[in-house]
Amino acid sequence: MKKGVVVVCLLFGMLSVSLAQEVFRKQTVHMGSAFSFVVVADSAAEAAVYFQRLSAEMERIENLISEWRPHTQIAQVNQNAGIAPVKVDREVFELTQRAIRYAELTGGAFDISIAALDRIWVFDGSMTELPSEDLIRRSIERVGYQHIRLDSLNSTIFLEKEGMKIGFGSIGKGYAADQGRALLQSLGVKGGIVNASGDLSTWGRQPDGEPWKIGVSDPFKTYRMKKVLKLYEASVATSGSNEKFAEIGGKRYAHIINPTTGCPSTGLMSVTVWGPSAEFANFLSTSMMVLGKKAGKKLLRQFPEYRADIVKDR
């Protein structure tokens, strides 16, 4: 259940040179994607220490949950699908437990076991016809969160079907953003942003007392800001089809796949969600893309701390 590329901008006003603290920024790469960190600190040297701690935290998380690195706990869970349960850290167990709850909340519109989906859809512009119904049906045979077995007492995960896989491409970066924020808050950093490739968490405020300003671009005109969010302690996540999609017979098919049907989501161009947690906003934005506007808004209403901007496809 891959996410769309999130298009957000961090907007900063002019800061007075008389202010004791400054805003420092760093661009880096983690989880195969561009990350950016922003902290309020007394000096560049102090900020560098925070950036180092953040990078180490991102690497730690990737080494726990990446499905692509063969030594990670999630990779080991996948390698033992249909064979044996795998003991994992409590952190990994609880993240998986929450993901299953998300699946239950959406009737399977969100499902981390979609990692096993056969790649029958291509979103590089080369696809000219739809896969056959039989091919689609066979592609989802190993998908189903109901077959993820958790043993809380022993902290194990077991995938019942051989060939099953789980992956956190849909919420992993949001989780990393939340964890990065929590880490820096524990170190006493007064304000900042952890932007995990568009899934971001903010806290505190800028040195001049202003909130963090997050610009969300128009998916049809990415050079134009559609909305500016003014945030203190909050998170933002976007899912969309504006950059990765297939157009067949005049209809746009998003790269976000519905786990229950094996078909791409249609009808929505993008969903941006903001609220307390980047992980949860990530879950909501992805699920709403799959569910569509009506069912997606019904899901959102269950969580009044979260709001969304929904853009329909044309």
Question: How many CB atoms are located within 10 Å of the residue 294 CB?
Answer: 8
Please give the single-letter amino acid code of residue 138.
R
pLDDT value at residue 119 = 76
The predicted-structure confidence for 229-284, as pLDDT tens digits, reads as follows 999 999 999 998 776 788 888 887 888 999 999 999 888 999 999 999 999 999 99
Could you give the CA distance from residue 117 to residue 52 in angstroms, rounded to a whole number? 36
Distances (CA, A) of 155 to 91, 95, 151, 206: 10, 12, 5, 41
Q: Is the pLDDT of residue 116 over 60?
A: yes
pLDDT tens column, 164-197: 999 999 999 999 999 999 999 999 999 999 999 9
Three-class SS of 110-148:
CCHHHHHCCCCCCCCCCCCCCCCHHHHHHHCCCCCHHHE
* Token pair in block for residue 290: 């799959």
Q: Which residue ranges make up each domain of the chain?
A: 8-44+171-312
pLDDT tens for 41-58 read 999 999 999 999 999 999
Mean of the per-residue pLDDT values for the chain? 91
Angle of CA points 281, 74, 306, to nearest 5°: 5
CATH architecture for the domain at 8-44+171-312: Roll (3.10)
The pLDDT of residue 5 is: 39
Encode pLDDT of 272-300 as tens digits. 999 999 999 999 999 999 999 999 999 99
Contact, 11 vs 215, CB < 8 A? Answer: yes
Enter the DSSP assignment of 15: P
Tell me the pLDDT band of 9, cut-offs 50, 70 and 90.
low
In angstroms, the CA 139 to CA 203 distance is 42
pLDDT at 19: 52
Confidence of residue 126 (pLDDT cuts 50, 70, 90): confident
Provide mean pLDDT across the span 92-99. Answer: 98
